A and B are shown apart, each in its own frame.
Chain A
Amino acid sequence: MIRVSGQAYQYPGSRRIAFQDFDIGAGAHGLLLGDSGSGKTTLLHLVGGLLRAQQGTIEVQGTDLAKLSESRLDDFRGKHVGFVFQKNHLITALSVEKNLLVAPFFAGLPPDLVRVEEILRSLGIEEQRHARIRELSHGQAQRVAIARALINRPGVILADEPTSALDDRNCEKVIRLLIDASEKQGATLLVATHDQRLKKIIPHQIQL
């Protein structure tokens, strides 16, 4: 569940960007649509607690993010929010399995190897479990990034331009993967993108 109201953000020496209010109910999907520079990523980071709001309120899973201290916010992100970025940003020093296991470690949750196996299988990359990140294809790396976002069973999944670099076939595949995985664990999905192809797949759209 995500509730955004009265948000506006101003970077130093830059114009102020105001955002419209919106709600996404628990387990629902939403699309943040806008061109580059429209503030999609800023809004997504505000919702994910990567950036502190300058005004208004943001509620995620019923928690007002502004009320959390810095370390509580870190903890909240780890337990309740899963991120998928356009560049997958996997940790190349670690294997696929370790990349998944750092998520529960940093969130302060116990490591769960059964969960690792389950999620790798559901994304069709169980063969790559012990592979190095550099050995993965782009598609595999993206699946690992999605797996990492899902492993802690977060209530909210935030994806930043997950499909913009993909062709039509893969675009559809990835967004379906995200939607399926979110639905399977009842997570709220918010995708920030300028990719018009997603419009027909996610009807709930917030235009910036």
Chain B
Amino acid sequence: MNLFQLVWSYLRARPLTTALNIFLLALGISVITVLLLFTNQVQEKVSSNAKGIDLVVGAKGSPLQLILCSIFHLDFPTGNIKLSDAEKIVRHRLVKKAIPLALGDSYGGYRIVGTTPEYPALYGAALETGAWWEKDLEVTLGAVAADRTGLRVGDTFTSAHGLTGDGHGHELSQYVVVGILQRSQKVIDNLLFTGIESVWRVHEIGEADSITLLHPSTLVSTREAGDSTLEITSLLVQYRNPLAILQLPRYVNNVGNLQAASPAFETARLFSILGVGVDVLRGFALVLILISAVSIFIALYNSLKERKYDLAIMRSMGAGRRMLFLSMIMEGAVLTLLGSVAGLLMGHSALYAFTFLAGDSASGLDPLAFYPAEAVLLGANLMLGICCSLLPGIQAYRTDIHRVLAGN
């Protein structure tokens, strides 16, 4: 027999109340846990996808759309920009690296990206099988895109316009798969990579000159620099030094129809918009936790009435006041601890179920990742439980044994 066994026996003697209290608390904690995991991991995923990209240059329009389109491949392009304008940016002394993107077509819902090998290299992509694209119309697939479309090395396909599978097709030019990338848990898993020249060719834009070029373009080496008829979608830019933060966006916005969008700024803006919903859910969860705290308090306080003889008898058997106080505090602590642990498990299970059901669209969410904030949550709840049992504990401490046992 020890104090914990005693406390546990009391909890077990009221199974329904105990279960309800644990469940109420677990519900609140699980909502908080899911929010915590979700926001943390989405933010991690977003920042890992935007890593190494300081600025996106594209056609004028919504800067958020430009970021969503060029980095996360979730939205449509804002329009096209002239290759000659893009080259002006590349030549700027504050630009360390610039990667061109030509977007617009897809296959089976997965976007075809015309770019240079620098783009997948930005995410540390490595080949699983086959090779990188080199010649026109050769394609290297991201792991998820390969999985879902069922394309293998050597297969051929025609692209569709837009992002949905049923857009009108470009029947004349057939892409051929030459390689598949390893899974990276980043956005490149969902992309099909090819050269910019291939995208132009599918859209029947002037054939590349076969003669030796006098001044090859810094972005597309098969073309003469300064071509004002060719267009790309956007340019991913890496700064040479922090000075660029101030100067480059202003410079970009003055060239042709170009606009500069900062991934850091736009994603922060996006989170602040989403944050309202997260705050509402979090508030709801906090209300749940508060209700469960009140419920635990009421349960303990009510049990004092039934237990006043028990408490007096315990004192008559030699239990000190502090022992009775401690037993109440322990009861509150055990309840909240069980509720919190159950809540954390429920939260992780919910996220696990979500990633399981949502499949690839939830790739990169890890339900088994634990964060220090969860330990803080656990500690805070324990404190809450102890606070709820303080008053019942004090009442137990004050039990007047003589009065109770004499029955008056």
- A50 at the B interface (CB under 8 A): yes
Expressed in whole angstroms, the Cα–Cα distance for A48 and B318 within the complex equals: 11
Query: Which residue of chain A has its CB nearest to the CB of B316?
Result: A83
Contact A91 B313 (CB under 8 A): yes
* Residues of the A chain whose Cβ atoms lie less than 8 Å from the Cβ of B310: 89, 91, 93
* Residues of the A chain whose Cβ atoms lie less than 8 Å from the Cβ of B314: 91, 102, 106
Of the candidates A41, A50, A75, the one whose C-beta lies within 8 Å of that of B316 is A50
Expressed in whole angstroms, the Cα–Cα distance for A41 and B401 within the complex equals: 12
B259 CB, min distance to chain A CBs, angstroms? 71
- A45 at the B interface (CB under 8 A): yes
B299-327 Cβ-contact flags toward A at 8 Å (1 or 0) = 00000000001101111111111010000
Contact B405 A78 (CB under 8 A): no
Expressed in whole angstroms, the Cα–Cα distance for A2 and B229 within the complex equals: 114
A42 CB, min distance to chain B CBs, angstroms? 7
Expressed in whole angstroms, the Cα–Cα distance for A105 and B323 within the complex equals: 11
Contact B318 A89 (CB under 8 A): no
Of the candidates A50, A79, A101, the one whose C-beta lies within 8 Å of that of B405 is A50
- Most chain A CB neighbours (cut-off 10 Å) among B9, B10, B314, B405: B405
* Residues of the B chain whose Cβ atoms lie less than 8 Å from the Cβ of A101: 1
Contact B2 A77 (CB under 8 A): no
- B245 at the A interface (CB under 8 A): no
* Residues of the B chain whose Cβ atoms lie less than 8 Å from the Cβ of A106: 314, 317-319, 323
If A50-B401, A106-B323 touch, does A41 touch B406 (CB 8 Å cutoff)? yes
Contact B318 A74 (CB under 8 A): yes
- B6 at the A interface (CB under 8 A): yes
A-B contact pairs, 6 of them (CB 8 A): A42-B402, A74-B319, A76-B318, A83-B313, A98-B1, A111-B1
B-side interface mostly: helix
- B168 at the A interface (CB under 8 A): no
B34 CB, min distance to chain A CBs, angstroms? 35
**Residue tally, chain A, CB below 8 Å to B:** 35
Contact A79 B318 (CB under 8 A): yes
B198 CB, min distance to chain A CBs, angstroms? 76
**Chain B contact residues (Cβ within 8 angstroms of A): what range?**
20 to 34
* Residues of the B chain whose Cβ atoms lie less than 8 Å from the Cβ of A104: 1
8 Å CB interface, B322-344 against A: 323
* Residues of the B chain whose Cβ atoms lie less than 8 Å from the Cβ of A83: 313, 316-317
Of the candidates B2, B309, B316, B319, the one whose C-beta lies within 8 Å of that of A48 is B316
* Residues of the B chain whose Cβ atoms lie less than 8 Å from the Cβ of A48: 316
Contact B318 A78 (CB under 8 A): yes
8 Å CB interface, B1-21 against A: 1-2, 5-6, 9-10, 12-13
* Residues of the A chain whose Cβ atoms lie less than 8 Å from the Cβ of B405: 41, 45, 50, 85, 89, 160
Known: A77-B318, A91-B313. 11 other contacts (CB 8 A): A45-B402, A50-B316, A75-B318, A78-B319, A83-B316, A91-B314, A93-B9, A98-B9, A106-B314, A107-B318, A148-B317
- A165 at the B interface (CB under 8 A): no
Expressed in whole angstroms, the Cα–Cα distance for A48 and B12 within the complex equals: 32
* Residues of the B chain whose Cβ atoms lie less than 8 Å from the Cβ of A74: 315, 318-321
If A91-B310, A91-B313, A101-B1 touch, does A50 touch B402 (CB 8 Å cutoff)? yes
B102 CB, min distance to chain A CBs, angstroms? 74
Contact B10 A93 (CB under 8 A): yes
Of the candidates B1, B13, B318, B406, the one whose C-beta lies within 8 Å of that of A45 is B406
- A108 at the B interface (CB under 8 A): yes
8 Å CB interface, A79-107 against B: 79, 81, 83, 85, 87, 89, 91-94, 98, 101-107
- Most chain A CB neighbours (cut-off 10 Å) among B2, B313, B318: B318
Expressed in whole angstroms, the Cα–Cα distance for A63 and B316 within the complex equals: 17
* Residues of the B chain whose Cβ atoms lie less than 8 Å from the Cβ of A41: 405-406
* Residues of the B chain whose Cβ atoms lie less than 8 Å from the Cβ of A70: 320-321
Expressed in whole angstroms, the Cα–Cα distance for A148 and B314 within the complex equals: 11
* Residues of the A chain whose Cβ atoms lie less than 8 Å from the Cβ of B315: 50, 74, 77
A139-161 Cβ-contact flags toward B at 8 Å (1 or 0) = 00000000010000000000010
- A137 at the B interface (CB under 8 A): no
If A41-B406, A101-B1, A105-B2 touch, does A94 touch B318 (CB 8 Å cutoff)? no
Contact B9 A71 (CB under 8 A): no
* Residues of the B chain whose Cβ atoms lie less than 8 Å from the Cβ of A45: 401-402, 405-406
Expressed in whole angstroms, the Cα–Cα distance for A28 and B10 within the complex equals: 39
8 Å CB interface, A28-46 against B: 41-42, 45
* Residues of the B chain whose Cβ atoms lie less than 8 Å from the Cβ of A201: none
